[in-house]
Structure 1
Amino acid sequence: MGQLIPKLMSISGNQEHKVIIVGLDNEGKTTILYGFLSDEVVHTCPIIGSNMEEIILLKTHFLMWDIVRQEALSFIWNTYYFNTEFIILVIDSMDRDWLLTAREELYKMLAHEALRDSSVVIFANKQDVKDSMRMVEISHFLTLSTIKDHSWHIGCCALTKEGLPAGLGWMESQAAANW
């Protein structure tokens, strides 16, 4: 019985794909989540715990979990990993001091058994701010070219939502290729 719904969804072509949105505090995770849902920019307050939203494209159904990264709650991150197909890592393009921590967190996630088949989207947020790191610099610092076991995509986004449709389209194409 537990497999009936996924099988029916696969017959109809509407597969459900689990996505986790992670990043350090105040990176723009929740703004990005709601950017997928609305044409308007949604200003948010920092969350405690997680938000979950469903995003449905033509035949692709994404269940997106926006997970807060606070030391007091970091032990629960692993509970979100099970059945995750996509990791969205949000980077603040202005916050050079935290980029090393973001890289460490990314590689910890990629090494986790439950995420071994997950694809990664990196959104370099705040690209519209003067003196922000460009995507090439961020890609180099995160050593993305060394990631061989996971598909990955890097795009930028900001309050203008630049890069969000391309990132979601890439995820949709990856989901279709994997099913």
Structure 2
Amino acid sequence: MMGLIFAKLWNLFSKQEHKVIIVGLDNAGKTTILYQFLMNEVVHTSPTIGSNVEEIFVKNTHFLMWDIGGQESLRSSWNTYYSNTEFIILVVDSIDRERLAITKEELYRMLAHEDLRKAAVLIFANKQDMKGCMTAAEISKYLTLSSIKDHPWHIQSCCALTGEGLCQGLEWMTSRVGVR
């Protein structure tokens, strides 16, 4: 009992950061999601060259979120951000059926990387407001998420422009903090 009380107090007063990388192909909505988390509003963005980093606090949990550019020329440098990463947020453009194979390739390349062996994965199926978009279930099946056994994962439908679904994704992440 005393240990439980101490653990809860420690969590309240410790300012431990949890590193998050936000990845996905260009134009998936990564930066829009980051700034929805930060300011709860849509910010006009341009393609990210390199990265954006912001601190997000959710229920006494401190996330350091790295939004990494998704253009083809930048993807080979994603691994420079992997060290000490606890969470991967993979943003999928639910309209972009043509490039879903590339997203799948990038996902499994990341999951095979030594620095990400303990990382949990949140997949945002973004742009659910668009006509003809793939559902989270369709994306999950295409990405064969059920075959991922060594990383906790969750897929969440969302719309970065309205913020719909984003809180549920963050709630899943906060529920995973400290779970190994």
TM-score (norm 2): 0.89
Alignment of 1:1-179 (within 5 A): 12-158=13-159, 159-178=161-180
Corresponding residue of 2:6: none
1:91-147 deviation line (CA, Å, top 9, x unaligned): 000000000000010000000000000000000111111111011100100001111
- Residues in 2 aligned to 1:141 and 1:121: alpha-carbon distance in whole angstroms: 16
**3-state secondary structure, aligned to 2:128:** coil
- Residues in 1 aligned to 2:135 and 2:71: alpha-carbon distance in whole angstroms: 26
The residue type paired with residue 155 of structure 1 is Q
The worse-fitting range, judged by mean Cα deviation, of 27-36 and 69-78 is 69-78
- Residues in 2 aligned to 1:13 and 1:177: alpha-carbon distance in whole angstroms: 16
Give the paired residue count: 170
**3-state secondary structure, aligned to 1:177:** coil
TM-score (norm 1): 0.90
Contact 2:12 2:60 in 1 (8 A): no
> Residues 64 and 140 (structure 1 numbering): CA distance in 2 closer, same or farther, change over 3 Å?
same
The residue type paired with residue 100 of structure 2 is L
Contact 1:15 1:59 in 2 (8 A): no
Runs of 4+ that moved beyond 4 A: none
Question: How far 1:89 sits from its partner (Å)?
Answer: 0.4
- How many percent of aligned residue pairs carry the same amino acid? 64
Q: Gapped runs of 5+ residues in structure 2?
A: 1-9
- Residues in 1 aligned to 2:20 and 2:123: alpha-carbon distance in whole angstroms: 13
- Residues in 2 aligned to 1:161 and 1:10: alpha-carbon distance in whole angstroms: 28
